[in-house]
Structure 1
Amino acid sequence: MFGAFRPTNSMSGGLLWKIRWRLSQPQKQRQRKRLRAVDDVVATISKALAKKGETLKQLERWQAEMPTEAEMLPKDKYTIFDPKEKRYRKAIHKLPKWTRVSQRLNPPGY
């Protein structure tokens, strides 16, 4: 198998993207930190608007619907709903760009 058409590592089998099946402790810690950072931004904006006597409809909706990091269950912090998965849950780090997307709400019961 020598010559111009040698098989590369990815073509000869094995994992190309090595993603662990569960989150490590530092990944969980960073995820909690990101969730708390979003909570702090929402609280700061609502406090500043309240000081001016104004409100935002989207901000009020966020505060009414979205749980804070402290209110979330660990299952919701680290996993997301996926109807294609066997038990309807998938580790959050398997989602592309999981550090940029808010995944706070999941269907009840899953």
Structure 2
Amino acid sequence: MFGPFKPSNVLLGGLLWKIPWRMSPNQKYRQRRRLKAVDQVIATVDEGLKSKGMTSKLLDRLKAEVPLESEMLPRDKYTTFSRQEKGYRIGLHRVQKWTRKTIRVNPKGF
């Protein structure tokens, strides 16, 4: 068919998702930078509280449970747990608003 009604991927299949199956090196670099920034914020707040002689239960729990970017495996930096996926892992760039989330802790064994 020609004209305005010619078949295309968008017209035949609805919304055409153009998400690559793996993250680009630039996306990985930015993700590492975001993780390091969160680590730095936690360290700065902790230092500030220590200088005032104060503590925070939430901050202590974060430091104990959340691994630093340098301690994380690449698999945990760039993928996260997903019940629906075949191998139970999904690329982080396929998670909605993944640039705003700090997804560091996954279920044990996955």
TM-score (normalizing by structure 1)? 0.90
Measure, in 2, the Cα distance between the counterparts of 1:11 and 1:62: 47
- Distance in 2 separating the partners of 1:58 and 1:8: 55
What is the aligned partner in structure 2 of residue 84 from structure 1?
84
Deviant stretches of 4+, over 2 Å: 5-9, 12-15
Gaps spanning 5+ residues in structure 2: where? none
The equivalences for 1:21-32 within 5 A come to: 21-32=21-32
CA distance, structure 1, for counterparts of residue 100 and residue 7 of structure 2:
33
Higher helix share: 2
For the aligned residues, what is the CA RMSD? 2.0
Deviation at 1:2, TM superposition (A): 6.8
* Letter paired with 1:51: S
Aligned residues, how many?
A: 109
Between the aligned partners of 1:26 and 1:69, the Cα distance in structure 2 is 17
Partner of 1:16: 16
Residue 54 of structure 1 deviates from its aligned partner by 0.3
Deviation string, structure 1 residues 36-84 (Cα, Å, up to 9, x no partner): 0000000000000000000111111100100000010100000000011
Q: Which residue of 2 aligns with 1:42?
A: 42
Q: Report deviation, 1:17.
A: 2.1
